[in-house]
Amino acid sequence: MTDVPSILRAHAEVQHAEELAALAKTDERPRPPNWRLSPWAVATYVLGGETPDGTPITPKYLGSRRLVEVAIATLATDRALLLLGVPGTAKTWLSEHLAAAISGDSTQLVQGTSGTAEEAIRYGWNYARLLAEGPSRGALVASPVLRAMESGGIARVEELTRIPSDVQDALITVLSEKTLPIPELDDEVQALAGFNVIATANDRDRGVNDLSAALKRRFNVVVLPLPDDVDSEVEIVRLRVSQLGEALRLPAELEAVDEIRRVVTVFRELRDGVTADGRTKIKSPSGTLSTAEAISVMTSGIALAAHFGDGVVRASDIAAGLHGAVVKDPVADRLVWQEYLEAVVRERKPWSDLYRACRELV
């Protein structure tokens, strides 16, 4: 792994440069135009494995291999890719690593918000040069999408459904014609081979700015699910917490996965509205309680153990994170959390320490 001590979080293509280089060196399979790796090597980079010469490749995404293969195959065609799922299903994470492996650049990014303007997808102008020189290519400010078209790379659009509908539709010509007209210059930019778009959308945002039928037709949709079982989710959290702890230089370690398993179990039961044994129905809070939030709770716990404890993560270190993740609505969610603590956590004798720590906060 490349060590970049002055950067809090290196881009995927920098952080995993050695793995990408090892894959490229031994990759003899056919590559689509302008791809750094073959589709098989991209899948190996994302899912983990080893190169033909035995170099280990760490997994970046723990989930269905077939879904990842469908996503990669989509990007090898003229169809754009839409990663859809509830918050915390690693949509952004997967899009970054796919872009890094395919084009070696995950930074051509449009962050979707309610205030995203059309210039973020098309182009803008350097008004000082525009006034001095008039309309020219030198005065034009290229968007990430335009830069990806010119380089034959991957552009990423995060939270597509948060972008106003009229701005979303600026993608239609780009995705269908692979060209971006610049009428002010009587010119256009035609995409080089290899160009494509990966968009992500939170399916809880349906009804905010739904995609038009014309735009939907330009995407292949891959729905990323929540982890199938507790063990899978525990492993995802363990892997990411370990990586974050190393990146943040936190001098604490998880000597066992017991605390991770408890956090994941709490989240899954509250999400599902029933305990793991199916015997007790419980109310669900307003939040999503995603895998990403479980990672955040455990990372916060490590920080507390490292800086205000003895370096070993215990129930008292994760209690505050659990409370903050569950209680988004200070009235309704607080009641849900209290009922869960009394009806479920209190009755589990091995969880007595977690019950006491959480009750102190409530």
Phi, psi at 257, each rounded to 5°: -95, 10
One-letter amino acid for residue 108 of the chain? Q
Residue 127 has pLDDT above 90, yes or no: yes
Encode pLDDT of 87-98 as tens digits. 888 999 999 999
| pLDDT number for residue 58 | 94
Share of the chain above pLDDT 70, in %: 95
**Same domain? 64 vs 193:** yes
Is 7 within a domain? Answer: no
| pLDDT number for residue 39 | 98
Distance CA 327, CA 343 (A): 17
Distance CA 127, CA 139 (A): 7
Residues 6+ apart with CB under 8 A from 139: 125, 126, 129, 130, 133
The residue among 163, 189, 223 that closes a domain is 223
Share of the chain above pLDDT 90, in %: 74
Is 2 within a domain? Answer: no
Q: Label residue 29 by pLDDT band (50, 70, 90).
A: very high
**Same domain? 121 vs 204:** yes
Phi-psi category of 124—alpha, beta or left, where left has phi over 0 and alpha has psi -120 to 50?
Answer: beta
Q: How many distinct structural domains can be found in the chain?
A: 2
| pLDDT number for residue 256 | 60
**Same domain? 213 vs 234:** no
Residue 71 has pLDDT above 90, yes or no: yes
Other C-beta atoms within 10 Å of 326: how many? 25
Phi, psi at 124, each rounded to 5°: -125, -165
**Same domain? 236 vs 141:** no
Encode pLDDT of 132-164 as tens digits. 988 999 999 999 999 999 999 999 999 999 999
3-state DSSP percent of the chain in helix, strand and coil, to 5: 50, 15, 35
| pLDDT number for residue 253 | 60
| pLDDT number for residue 159 | 94
Q: Residue range 194-222: average pLDDT?
A: 86
Is 4 within a domain? Answer: no
**With the CA atoms of 294, 202, 229 and 237 taken in that order, what torsion angle do they form, in degrees rounded to the nearest 10?**
-30
Question: Strand pairing of 49-50 and 56-57?
Answer: antiparallel
E strands, the chain, are 49-50, 56-57, 80-85, 109-111, 123-125, 140-142, 154-158, 179-182, 187-190, 196-202, 219-223
**Same domain? 74 vs 197:** yes
Q: 222 has which bridge partners?
A: 83
**Same domain? 241 vs 130:** no
**Same domain? 247 vs 118:** no
Instruction: Yes or no: say if 236 and 62 are a contact pair by the CB < 8 Å rule.
Output: yes
The residue among 167, 199, 223 that closes a domain is 223
The residue among 223, 246, 273 that closes a domain is 223
Is 131 within a domain? Answer: yes
Is 311 within a domain? Answer: yes
Among 224, 140, 153, 148, CA closest to 184: 140
Encode pLDDT of 293-314 as tens digits. 999 999 999 899 888 988 888 8
Phi-psi category of 207—alpha, beta or left, where left has phi over 0 and alpha has psi -120 to 50?
Answer: left
Is 234 within a domain? Answer: yes
How far lies 241's CA from each of 21, 244, 290, 311, in Å? 26, 5, 14, 15
Q: At 322, is the secondary structure helix, strand, or coil?
A: helix
Please, which contacts does 267-271 make with residues 24 or more away whose CB atoms are closer than 8 Å?
Answer: 267/291, 267/293, 267/294, 267/325, 268/230, 268/233, 269/340, 269/344, 270/326, 270/336, 270/340, 271/226
Mean pLDDT for all residues in the chain? 91
Is 6 within a domain? Answer: no
Q: 105 has which bridge partners?
A: none
Instruction: Yes or no: say if 296 and 270 are a contact pair by the CB < 8 Å rule.
Output: no
**Same domain? 195 vs 252:** no
Q: Label residue 7 by pLDDT band (50, 70, 90).
A: confident
Phi, psi at 23, each rounded to 5°: -65, -45
**Same domain? 352 vs 274:** yes
Domain of residue 147: give its range.
12-223
**Same domain? 275 vs 297:** yes
Encode pLDDT of 234-278 as tens digits. 999 988 888 887 777 776 565 567 889 999 999 999 999 999 999
**Same domain? 219 vs 261:** no
